[in-house]
Amino acid sequence: MLNLGLIGQAISASRSPSLHAMLGELNQLPVDYQLQVPADDTAESFNTKLAEIRALGFVGTNVTFPYKQIAIDSADEVNDAVKKVGASNTLLLKDGKVCAFNTDYTGFIRGYKSRMGHSLAGDVPAAGKVLVIGAGGVGRAIGFALFEVGATEVLVTDLSEHSAQSLVDAINEAGYKARVVAKEDIAAAAEDADGLVNCTPVGHLKSPGMPLAAELIQRQKWAFDAVYTPMDTEFLIEAKKKGLKIVSGFDLFFYQGIDAFEIFTGQSVTDVKPVWDQFCEKYEVVSSLI
């Protein structure tokens, strides 16, 4: 039995257990994936929970809000993506060590490539100049991942100027190009962008609405929404209506899960279509956009 988990708060509706169980079935690996909720938001409670599952023989765990930064401090080893992003959502527990990864980073790259198509030469359309709304944990992962799919510049806006500036500074220090966009300059930034990215909770069933005014979605080439409940957010519906290519939050969920499973098991999931088809059918995942 492969014992896996997800450490976070407010995770009762997570689909990660279902995805990992299905991946296990398709790869002849019985999986027991358990939700793990620490007593509170502190690093101490996170580390207590991590110690508990290590003692129980867990092979690995995913990590979500509010522990993605805390997870790094618990790790003995961190990979390059974690070093760039400053957050981890996947911990491999192996040989007495905690190894940190970020599959939001890699999952977005795979999701983008799967949706944007390829040229005859095998090239993926470049992301170009991208407006990123939201500079939290997911925003940081996507902000860096964009440069792996051809971003030329990332424009970052966030309700917290500190968060936006922190991400921009980190991107620039890594040798890429980014700048902060003030609230009053969002319209001009959107008009100048090739891609639009929502990494805020706006659009979730519990936070309905649009992260960007509909009239600002016009001449861009593509859009991504990290929200996947609902799968077809108002933002993506509007973007599709305006002719933009779509990368959904479900793409991110799906591919980051596959990447995590590969890390936990050491096995490659080379054919993802059967997993996608079976998961969508079994759990009634329906989209009119992708």
User: For helices 137-145 and 161-173, what crossing angle results, to 10°?
Assistant: 30
Amino acid identity for residue 129 in this structure: K
In 166-290, which ranges are E strands?
Answer: 178-180, 195-198, 222-225, 245-247
Give me the catalytic one of 33, 67, 228, 255.
67
Residue type, 144: F
CA distance 33 to 44: 23
Residue 112 falls in the annotated catalytic set: no
User: First vs last Cα of the chain: how many Å apart?
Assistant: 34
Token pair listed for 141:
């992962």
Answer whether the bond into residue 66 is a cis peptide, omega within 30°: yes
Contact 1, 57 (CB under 8 A): no
Neighbours of 249 (CB within 10 A): 23
Q: Residue 16 and residue 93: Cα distance in Å, rounded?
A: 18
What are the residue numbers of the active site? Answer: 67
